[in-house]
Amino acid sequence: MMAASAFWTAAHYGAPFLAVVSNNRSFYNDEVHQERVAVARNRPVENKWIGQRIGDPDIDIAGVARAQGCEGIGPVFTAGELVEAVKKGIELVREGKSVVIDARVQPGYNPNMDPVLADVLESASTKLSDLGWDVVRGPAIVPGVPLRLSAEQRQTLLSDVDIIVASSRSRLSEEDLDASSRLRALVFPTIGVDAVDLEACGMRGLIVGNGATPENFLAMSEATVMLMLVLLYKLHTSERLLHENAKRPQQMYARMLRGRTVGLVGSGRIGGGVIDRLRAFEPAEILVHDPFLTPETAPEGVCLVDRDALLVQSDVISLHVPLNAQTRGMIGEAELRKMKRDAILVNTSRGGLIDEDALVEVMSEGHLSGVGLDVTETEPLPADHPLRGLDRVVLTPHILGHTIDLYSIMPEVLVENATRLMDGDLPKYTRNLEVEPVWRERLANMQEG
């Protein structure tokens, strides 16, 4: 426990102090990811942040502190509890006591950490209220401070609602889905619905509507092709030449997309848009690995292959799959080393698909010509993350496809989806259409009840 060393030192010298010691297993270092890394690298499964083996009991930091003659507070699990613990700790320090707080606050997101999305939800709430809807809003949030509601708070908030509106910044449990007997659907303003388990929704007959508008997925398609071109043409290298008044290089470094093999892992709307746009660049071949496609349903002109063949043959590889237990860490060290040494890798889908430790390792060895990431496992990416130090990596903060065009229509689409659901119709954009028969049965039972 390196984090604990500070208060042992202070206790030794007798100076009153306040120490907040992190003692959690963070969501971006979860057990599924750690197990995948361990298997791939043939090493024990460990939590790299605090050195605990997964499965070990949590260390009682407050108890250890008390045993050393300090005041121990905690454990605390929410941001609010931590604030109160710090206030109490400061009072005790002023009394000449040394204090250690056992903090197990999990990192997280909330809509106010994305002010544009907060504006979308506010606009949609106003529109629904004007239509006579009773809109229940959660508690006020301090920007930048993660808020974790207790089970009781969530039950109170969701116990009498017809529709839950959530975003990819939320996390909805099965208890949340069962909180209201009136619940008929969930609506996301975004195209991603990672915040909820679709299988759990299907079992309950809950339809999930999302914001899969052309402005949403086609913006990401355009941005994905843009990243491919930026990396192939080494745009940032050319920018640097001008900014540094450097001489023209003796050898050119840019490569055309024309005549190269492009591989897409996954397809869907965004991947399909990428394929449509790639055709204009006349690639040698477009390879696709997608277990849900058949030769009859695949886009015209693409070649369906297994994943290993795609990794080995492609000059440019782009990921277009959701993040779940099956896809987390799907591009690990073994997969990266199968790629061509001068390959390009692009991920505009979800952070967590790529083992970032392995990516840093292979790129530090000179493998891969360039990588473009609009998403990372931890967002925002820590300031000291080694990916920031690699000059062949283009990093953007999960914003490439977030255009003015998209955000201007998001509130209208959210309201339309919600209105159609309350009228007993499917939303304009439905994420789990296969649930419709069970959903209609749920509505019928609710009406009879």
Q: Would you please indicate which residues are annotated as catalytic (active-site) residues?
A: 350, 379, 398
Could you give the CA distance from residue 151 to residue 2 in angstroms, rounded to a whole number? 33
Sign of the Cα pseudo-torsion (307, 312, 313, 318, in order): positive
Burial class of 448 by CB neighbour count within 10 A (0 to 12, 13 to 18, 19+): exposed
Cα-Cα-Cα-Cα torsion 213, 217, 219, 224, nearest 10 degrees, comes to 180
Distances in Å between the Cα of 31 and the Cα atoms of 46, 55, 197 are 9, 9, 18
3-state secondary structure of 394: strand
Confirm if 207 and 193 have CB atoms less than 8 A apart: no
Cα separation of 22 and 395, whole Å? Answer: 28
417-438 b/e (C-beta count within 10 Å ≥ 16 → b)? bbbbbeeeebbebbbbeebeeb
Closest among 286, 292, 233, 290 to 262, alpha carbons compared:
286
